[in-house]
Every structure is written in structure tokens, then in C-alpha cells.
């Protein structure tokens, strides 16, 4: 017997697309709230040294010491930077993946497309990645930005007036395409 994931059954999805979308989005958003502090640490440590002079001190050591430094210097707001666009990213990415997968899989398998289940996963993953990309870009920029000189690393983007302000500023300076910087790598990743 084959597992459900590898099943070639063309049975129609049992839950509505909207319920799959809401369930996938909700689960991903909860995980985002819990993991966002580590996302901030990851983003900061990735850009650390980007603009540093040779021999300058490192602000962040390992992940746990970086979290402590960040929490002491910037508080709860600092460790949850980029949370709102992070939630938007999760809704775009995982809402679409979970919401559309049963339908796309059903259509591919029903049409007899070889590897229909795998292809459906790739299709909805790339679509979700593309839809979530603008939020991911804003999230990363917000996570690297700080007004605290002791914890500033990497290029310090303009301080945005909220998520909508970030979208406006990026579109104003780079056009709509600026929101999709890195989308080619994103769709391959997800």
C-alpha cells in the first residue's frame, strides 16, 4: 500500500480551500511568533561583518548569546522585529501551499500527469514563495534595522513607518520589481 503522500488517487479534496488556507496560515503564524526571535538573530548574524572594518569586534557570538545581547539592548520589540511582515509571509507562503495543494494535486493526478503529487507540491510552493516574497524582503530589512549603535550590523536601511510604509518606500525607490529582489532563489528554496 502506498502512503497518502504518494497516493495516485484522484479523490477530490475533503476540506474546503478556505479552511485549508486558514489552517495552514494559522499554524505557520503561530510557529512564526515563536521562532521570530531566532529569525532576527539569524538575519543579524548573517549580515554581521558586511560593512565592518578588518579587525573590528563582533557584536553577536553564537545564537543564544546573540539573543541575550539583542534582548538586553533592544527589549521585546527588538527580538520580535519584523514580526508583522513575517506573518504576512507565512500567510502568503503556507496559506497558499496548504490551501491550493489538494486542488492542484487532484487536477494533476486526475489528468494523469506523471509525478502529479510531487509536481503539485512544487507548483504551489513556488507560487506561495512568489506571493510571500515582498513580505519576506520587508521582514529582513526590518530585522536588520536598529537605532541602537551597540547592536547595529550590516547596512541600515531607512527606518520605515510600519509595514505599509516599507512597501511604499521600496516601490518608490526601486519600483514594484524591488519587492521581488531574490524571488528566483526564493521559489527554488520553497
pLDDT for res 11: 59
Backbone angles phi, psi at 48, to 5 degrees: -60, 130
Q: Output the pLDDT for position 1.
A: 43
- The grid coordinates listed for 101 are 495543494
Closest CA to 23 of 72, 132, 96, 73: 96
Question: What are the CB-based long-range contacts (under 8 Å, 24+) for 174-182?
Answer: 179/133, 179/134, 179/137, 180/130, 180/133, 180/134, 180/137, 181/137, 182/133, 182/137
pLDDT of 190 higher than 80: no
Question: Each residue of 45-82: pLDDT tens digit?
Answer: 888 877 666 666 678 888 899 999 999 999 999 999 99
Mean pLDDT across the chain, nearest whole number?
Answer: 87
Residues 69, 151: contact at Cβ < 8 Å? yes
Amino acid at each position: 500500500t502506498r502512503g497518502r503522500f504518494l497516493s495516485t488517487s484522484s479523490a477530490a479534496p475533503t476540506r474546503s480551500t478556505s479552511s485549508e488556507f486558514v489552517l495552514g496560515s494559522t499554524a505557520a503564524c503561530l510557529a512564526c511568533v515563536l521562532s521570530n526571535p531566532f529569525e532576527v538573530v539569524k538575519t543579524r548574524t548573517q549580515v554581521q561583518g558586511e560593512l565592518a572594518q578588518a579587525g573590528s569586534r563582533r557584536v553577536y557570538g553564537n545564537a543564544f548569546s546573540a539573543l541575550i545581547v539583542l534582548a538586553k539592548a533592544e527589549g521585546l520589540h527588538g527580538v520580535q522585529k519584523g514580526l508583522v511582515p513575517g506573518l504576512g509571509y507565512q500567510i502568503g507562503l503556507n496559506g497558499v501551499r496548504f490551501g491550493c495543494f489538494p486542488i492542484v494535486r487532484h487536477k494533476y493526478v486526475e489528468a494523469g500527469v506523471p509525478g502529479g503529487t510531487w509536481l503539485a507540491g512544487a507548483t504551489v510552493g513556488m507560487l506561495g514563495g512568489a506571493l510571500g516574497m515582498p513580505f519576506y524582503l520587508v521582514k529582513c530589512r526590518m530585522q536588520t534595522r536598529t537605532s541602537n549603535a551597540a547592536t547595529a550590523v550590516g547596512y541600515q536601511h531607512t527606518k520605515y513607518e510600519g509595514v505599509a510604509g516599507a512597501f511604499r518606500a521600496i516601490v518608490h525607490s526601486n519600483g514594484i520589481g524591488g519587492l521581488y529582489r531574490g524571488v528566483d532563489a526564493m521559489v527554488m528554496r520553497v
